């Protein structure tokens, strides 16, 4: 019997190639953030231009992220056939095709076609995420995985800060506040003409994005990014996994996928709904557009703390426990706090700033879950990673649940959906990640 080969490591491990790999993957995470977080602007923009209610407007996130549920596992098999670099190239091209679909969707002002374009963009991102997340998780010592993921998070959320502002600068004009007030008073023909003109503002940015993504796909395929070998195991892991033939035999992975589902859904709620919540406080879209960037700035502050402190001062497991508890406390404060404050020039209810601060604990929850959920998977790492990526469909489902309740009990009280999410995350951080076999005793 041949000795087992080294598990889960990059084939070339010298310092220079490792740094190059981190830089390239960091660029991928920047693109994830840029493409994903512009939804925070698309939701209120489509709500106006396509005449939608809250529930309908959150189909933006549903169409975008439900593709993760559908395509994550097929993505892992595609990556096995093509390798990581070609798979990433294909992912960029799928995203580009979704961006190009925005052109006919805008010309026809048809919300359903926009949703199909967002679905394709999400499908491409599912492929890219399936490749990039396990890559950065195992690129170095396991105990520093949260630190590396924090660096990737800065790239992701840094793009998230600038992307909505860039898109808002393109889509919105200083005179739009008055225009939006006049639209309900217009005749049907005049209103349709204005809305047609408004929605066609998305054509230039998405056409340019599509062209750039096609070009970036070629560049990634020609890059020096090395492949990952996750098919071989150390003797210890091979013995521990003997007799296992499915990822459902790893409870800590399954529970981790549920944790990912609830975490990403609650994170997107805190970012993609904050403009609507600010609107409820009589802030117009031109003023409210900056609030997603505030939340993402808080998230970046959390990442920086993670890079400094993990694992030098605190373990990534304890950081996960602290962040989940803090997330629950802030969610509770969103619901129970009241009172007008003036912060950063905005006169709002104080509760919106607790929603902004939710970005701080959210920053390190993802980074804490991944290494715990993938621990000891060995040859199941790729399929396990794709299973975790499926959890990103929480971004599709939880904002829609929020939107449903926002239409019925109000945009403020609808934030109660965050509480059960953080309660489960506390369970996983304290106990769930330790479970290695299913038992009802």
* 439 in any annotated domain: no
Residue 353 in this model has a pLDDT that exceeds 90? yes
pLDDT for position 141: 67
- Residue 243 — pLDDT band, cuts 50, 70, 90? low
Q: Tens digits of per-residue pLDDT, 366-381? A: 888 988 888 877 777 7
Q: Report in angstroms the alpha-carbon separations of 88 from 117, 345, 388.
A: 19, 42, 18
Distance CA 368, CA 302 (A): 12
* 229 in any annotated domain: no
Distance CA 238, CA 152 (A): 30
**Over pLDDT 70: what percentage of the chain?**
88
Q: Tens digits of per-residue pLDDT, 103-158? A: 999 999 999 999 999 999 999 988 887 777 666 766 666 666 666 777 777 887 77
- Nearest alpha carbon to residue 260 among 166, 365, 115: 365
Q: What is the four-CA torsion angle of 151, 39, 69, 219, rounded to 10 degrees?
A: -60
pLDDT for position 226: 66
| Chain mean position to CA 246 | 27
Residue 6 in this model has a pLDDT that exceeds 50? no
Domain coverage including residue 303: 10-223+234-434
* 4 in any annotated domain: no
pTM of the full structure: 0.73
- Residue 238 — pLDDT band, cuts 50, 70, 90? low
* 69 in any annotated domain: yes
Flag the least confident range among 72-86, 145-159, 302-316, 318-332.
Answer: 145-159
* 57 in any annotated domain: yes
Domains identified in the chain, total number: 1
What would the DSSP string read from start to end of 40-51?
HHHHHHHHHHTT
- Residue 216 — pLDDT band, cuts 50, 70, 90? confident
Q: Tens digits of per-residue pLDDT, 269-297? A: 998 889 889 988 988 878 888 888 898 88
* 441 in any annotated domain: no
Q: To the nearest whole number, what is the mean pLDDT of the chain?
A: 83
pLDDT for position 2: 41
What would the DSSP string read from start to end of 147-215?
HHHHHHHHHHHHHHHHHHHHHHHHH--TTHHHHHHHGGGS-HHHHHHHHHHHHGGGHHHHHHHHHHHHH
Place of tokens 């031109």: 286
- Residue 207 — pLDDT band, cuts 50, 70, 90? very high
* 5 in any annotated domain: no
CB crowding 129-158: b at 16 or more within 10 Å, else e: bbbbbbbbbbbbebebbbbbbbbbbbbbbb
* 3 in any annotated domain: no
Report the CATH number at residue 404: 1.20.1250.20
């Amino acid at each position: 019997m041949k000795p087992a080969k080294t598990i889960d490591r990059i084939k070339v491990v010298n310092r220079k190639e490792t740094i190059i790999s981190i830089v390239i993957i960091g660029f991928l995470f920047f693109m994830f953030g840029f493409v994903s977080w512009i939804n925070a602007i698309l939701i209120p923009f489509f709500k106006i231009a396509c005449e939608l209610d809250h529930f309908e407007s959150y189909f933006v996130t549903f169409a975008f992220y439900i593709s993760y549920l559908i395509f994550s596992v097929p993505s892992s098999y595609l990556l096995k056939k093509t390798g990581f670099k070609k798979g990433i190239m294909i992912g960029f091209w799928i995203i580009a095709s979704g961006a190009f679909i925005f052109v006919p969707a805008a010309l026809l002002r048809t919300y359903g076609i926009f949703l199909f374009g967002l679905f394709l963009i999400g499908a491409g991102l599912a492929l890219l995420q399936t490749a990039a997340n396990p890559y950065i998780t195992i690129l170095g010592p396991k105990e520093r995985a949260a630190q590396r993921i924090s660096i990737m998070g800065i790239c992701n959320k840094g793009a998230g800060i600038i992307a909505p502002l860039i898109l808002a600068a393109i889509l919105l004009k200083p005179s739009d506040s008055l225009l939006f007030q006049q639209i309900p008073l217009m005749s049907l023909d005049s209103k349709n003409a204005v809305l047609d003109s408004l929605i066609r503002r998305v054509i230039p940015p998405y056409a340019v994005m599509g062209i750039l993504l096609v070009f970036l796909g070629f560049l990634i395929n020609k890059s020096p990014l090395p492949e990952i070998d996750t098919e071989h195991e150390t003797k210890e892991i091979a013995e521990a996994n003997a007799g296992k033939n499915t990822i459902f035999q790893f409870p800590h992975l399954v529970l981790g996928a549920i944790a990912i589902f609830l975490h990403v859904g609650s994170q997107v709620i805190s970012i993609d709904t904050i403009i609507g919540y600010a609107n409820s406080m009589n802030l117009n879209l031109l003023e409210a557009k900056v609030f997603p960037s505030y939340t993402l700035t808080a998230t970046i502050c959390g990442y920086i703390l993670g890079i400094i402190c993990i694992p030098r001062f605190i373990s990534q497991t304890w950081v996960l426990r602290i962040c989940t508890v803090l997330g629950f406390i802030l969610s509770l404060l969103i619901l129970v706090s009241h009172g007008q404050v003036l912060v950063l020039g905005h006169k709002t209810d104080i509760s919106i700033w607790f929603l902004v601060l939710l970005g701080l604990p959210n920053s390190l929850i993802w980074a804490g879950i991944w290494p715990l959920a993938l621990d000891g998977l060995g040859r199941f790492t790729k399929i396990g990673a794709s299973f975790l990526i499926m959890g990103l469909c929480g971004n599709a489902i939880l904002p829609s649940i929020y939107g449903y309740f926002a239409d019925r009990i109000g945009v403020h009280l609808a934030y109660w959906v965050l509480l059960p999410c953080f309660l489960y995350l506390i369970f996983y951080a304290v106990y769930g990640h330790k479970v290695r076999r299913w038992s009802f005793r």
